[in-house]
Amino acid sequence: MSREYSLSDRMLMEFDRGLRSLFGRPPQTGRPHPATGVAEGDLSNDQRRESARLMRVNHCGEVCAQALYQGQAITARNPAVRNTMQEAADEENDHLVWCRDRLEQLDSRTSHLDPLFYLGALGLGTAAGLAGDRWSLGFLAETEHQVVKHLEGHLQRLPEEDSVSRAIVTQMRDDEARHAGTAEDQGAAALPTPVRLLMGVGGKLMTGTTRWI
């Protein structure tokens, strides 16, 4: 018999998830690592630095994704929509750990701005959820569509020799596209153009700062 959690229960659970996302190691789904069996390429120092910068941006993006889904899951009215958010967040945990581990392998670090962007994304996710489930799903779908374009751009910029990072980013891109499709299948509302443009500006702010800080 499954337990029906109260709002306060869900808030405490999502708070714990947030702490793990920022400072710990969140639980993963158990899927195979996308770079299993992929040989590490012979990267120059410049290539390692460029890969690390791109993977740092991707890691912060996954921190933001966790926060968005947490805010939306807390405020979702329909249990099916809440489950969609939680299932997507579980897969985003995989992305988060893959990116963090890759940064360590590249002798680099995560962004110092992660907590700031986490809080901003949590607020956006909560607001989207309060607007109603169709709008929340629409926000999820649009977010994922923009992330797919962002990751495709990173696949063009990552060094060809960095097969490990490329395998990770490819799997992330495929997962994000699937999340967008799931949201649309569940009745996502199309967001107004000004909202989509504003989301794009926020994404550029994140990618432009976390690359360096």
Predicted pLDDT at 2: 47
169 pLDDT above the threshold of 90: yes
Residue 29 falls inside a structural domain: no
Q: Give the chain's mean pLDDT.
A: 82
Residue 34 falls inside a structural domain: no
CA distance 99 to 82: 26
In terms of DSSP H, where are the helices of 76-113? 79-105
Residue 36 falls inside a structural domain: no
Residue 27 falls inside a structural domain: no
1 pLDDT above the threshold of 50: no
Residue 122 falls inside a structural domain: yes
Residue 131 falls inside a structural domain: yes
Specify the pTM: 0.81
More confident residue, 182 or 84: 182
Residue 26 falls inside a structural domain: no
97-118 tens-digit pLDDT? 899 999 999 999 999 988 888 8
Question: Looking at the 3D structure of the chain, how many domains does it have?
Answer: 1
Predicted pLDDT at 158: 92
- Does the CA dihedral 180-76-23-203 come out positive or negative? positive
Q: Which of 59, 68, 118, 120 is nearest to 94 (CA)?
A: 59
Range of the domain at 126: 7-20+44-210
Classified as helix, coil or strand, 3 is: coil
140 pLDDT above the threshold of 80: yes
11 pLDDT above the threshold of 80: no
Residue 39 falls inside a structural domain: no
> Residue 98 is part of a domain; what is its CATH number?
1.20.1260.10
